[in-house]
Homo-oligomer: A and B are copies of this chain.
């Protein structure tokens, strides 16, 4: 599956600035398309149906000329050779396809933008949470420090007071607990 779906007209060398001003009929489709664009904004589903994980592998462009862009419409080259039959553009089916695609494009871009916004917001949220966590760590560290100091102090007092008695009232060595690694 690699052939163009509907582009059977040969594409040769085309200047990047095609479609010079020209008159063209087809007033009906005009009305249609405009009428379609008129509505503020159709529901526009929000569920991202397709993940599309793999990278868009651009088709092998053996031709040095990338693709001569699709800015406007396929037209003729300076040679005068027509690349895209104008009849196509007048086709009702063509217009319908274009309209549908245009809608799809809008939808896709909207989603893309929304996603970017969401990601940015996620960053903000995570940053806030990080701050909360850091604060908590600071608090716990301090609490731990105080407790350890208290422990050490008590141990010393105990030693000073006990020594005269000639025996420790407690086999456990409080200093042991206070020696716990404070880091990590």
Contacts and interface: CB of A to CB of B under 8 A. Distances in A.
Interface of A: 13-27, 29-30, 33-34, 37-38, 64-66, 68-69, 71-78, 80, 82-86, 89-90, 95, 98-99, 102, 116, 119-120, 122-123, 126-127, 129-130, 133-134, 136-137, 139-141, 143-144, 146-148, 150-151, 153-154, 157-158, 161-162, 169-170, 172, 174, 177-178, 180, 184
A158 to B, nearest CB: 7
A140 B147 CA distance: 12
Contact of A78 (B30, B161, B162): B30
Most buried by B among A73, A80, A90, A184: A73
Closest 10 CB pairs of A and B: A19-B19, A72-B72, A15-B30, A126-B126, A161-B169, A27-B78, A133-B133, A21-B86, A20-B24, A140-B140
